[in-house]
Chains A and B, each alone.
Chain A
């Protein structure tokens, strides 16, 4: 897509007293892009989202959301096109699910007739919808939270820790909804601790640490930047590990794993050559498995080197 970015963040810093929540962050999000923002607690993820929502104003820098300042008086028209699922979402416990969604729909100026379809989409049954939110389980609350975020077919969706407390089946349907929205051209910004589940969901990953953006790029780009070793796991037919070690030589680091499995760690650039050699003239193997560095490992890597700022070359 060659359209304009929906969100532009330029040199934004946010200070609360002496505390720097966000420091000098630049970011541009495109329509139809699903961006995952990762970082430990207090890394500035939620602060950045609040800034983009216009709940707080930046100490320095400039934020443009859908072409306007989200904290200005004219932000209403912007917010009408933005969906937000806050971390630890809270609703008024005495209202029922339907009343809650009706209330938010009215505030957003969306006709409430569409709410039934929305409940169906997020998987809240009509029996649950008629109950008070105070009686909801965490999973049901999260579904209701997603339903309100989807009100009015937003062009931008902020999801702050959306899958905490959800069971795996629910997570999957959750990401299906997110993927459908992204394909329809919505910008999705997703914050999460659960890095492994972001793989395959996010087009881009932004790593935050202590208020700074320490890495930004697609998973493949980040892998290249991190230069973490790729691991090739082999189940040898004859169990001759020493022979394999001699055969591999200096090309890779060999480790024995449980169950007669041997792991070879090599640089990403050597991976294809090594696999070809094993397949063509290496020892007989029962099974071969290639393990890419997980998001968790890359994340840990970038946090160890907070000085390093990787910019994605698109």
Chain B
């Protein structure tokens, strides 16, 4: 356990030194603040508060941005260290390979978590300071949004680690990371839509569709944030969908957690067999 923390702490310090943490946190904060201020304008008439507006716009943006940041941070984690030669030395120390991989992952996940909590939290603070009337239900939804964003970031960090252990070349790992992002964030939904239209509801029923949505961490995140809370889904125009979705928030979070654990477990397996 101690070894895990030593490696994680080193990764965090690296992140602080090379300005990854600062850059990511500032980016998150800037986006979140602009969303909350711009989003505060067209409310009132719909009957939802500024927090709901922020959640809808911010979570939609998070789906694109956070996986990208997570993959950029993680695709180099293993293959880069092997390439530079630091991995050979590290593995000659009394550390198990799973400790190296999990320790580094913990460090990177902590960087993502820190940036997300601080960046999005600043938007929450701004909303609170603006003096608008915000109910506890809205705050719960906001907190859930931050928490699930961290989980989404961790899931794509884990996928990045898988890409990084899969290949011997940094360029290939980067290519795989881009492919993962394109696939899960952009192409998956388009393909799903295409299938639905082509199929016309003959074989792809609601159950199959729901399963397919769980099979993509980005969709699980979207469903969790846009349908999980009544006021939010009303605003997002997904209230109808929310009635269709049979998943509770717990199931969606569990799906996200599985998207963290499964790629990571596979990466550990591959890494422990890798000949360096």
Contacts and interface: CB of A to CB of B under 8 A. Distances in A.
B95 A103 contact: no
Contacts of B86: 90-92
Interface string B44-86: 0000000000000000000000000000000000000000111
B96 A55 contact: no
Given A89-B85, A90-B84, A107-B3, A55 B17 contact: no
Contacts of A80: 94
Given A56-B275, A92-B14, A86 B89 contact: yes
A53 B91 CA distance: 9
Contact of A55 (B14, B92, B94): B92
B276 A90 contact: no
A73 B85 CA distance: 22
Contacts of A73: 96
A106 interface: yes
| Interface-central residue, A56, A77, A88, A94, by most chain B CB under 10 Å | A94
A90 B94 contact: no
Contacts of A79: 92-94
B167 interface: no
Given A56-B275, A94-B14, A103-B6, A76 B94 contact: yes
Contacts of B88: 50, 55, 86
Nearest to B92: A84
Interface in A69-117: 73, 75-77, 79-80, 82, 84, 86, 88-92, 94-95, 99, 103-104, 106-109
Interface size class of A (residues with CB under 8 A): 20 to 34
Interface residues of B, number: 22
A72 B85 CA distance: 22
B139 to A, nearest CB: 38
Contacts of B85: 86, 88-90
A84 B96 CA distance: 17
A90 B89 contact: yes
A57 B275 contact: yes
Interface of A is mostly: mixed
Contacts of A57: 275
A148 B86 CA distance: 13
B3 A53 contact: no
Nearest to A73: B96
A210 B261 CA distance: 43
Contacts of A103: 6, 10
Contacts of A76: 94-96
Interface string B1-30: 001001100100110011000000000000
B89 to A, nearest CB: 5
Contacts of B3: 107
| Interface-central residue, A55, A89, A99, by most chain B CB under 10 Å | A55
A56 B17 contact: no
Interface string A38-66: 00000000000010010111000000000
A16 B91 CA distance: 20
Given A76-B95, A103-B10, A55 B276 contact: yes
B169 to A, nearest CB: 16
Contact of A104 (B17, B91, B93): B93
B80 to A, nearest CB: 11
B268 to A, nearest CB: 13
A206 to B, nearest CB: 20
Given A76-B96, A80-B94, A107-B7, 15 more contacts: A16-B275, A50-B88, A50-B276, A53-B91, A53-B92, A55-B88, A55-B91, A55-B276, A77-B94, A86-B88, A89-B85, A92-B14, A95-B10, A106-B6, A109-B94
8 contacts: A55-B92, A56-B275, A73-B96, A84-B89, A86-B88, A91-B86, A107-B6, A107-B93
Top 3 closest A-B pairs, CB basis? A94-B17, A90-B85, A76-B94
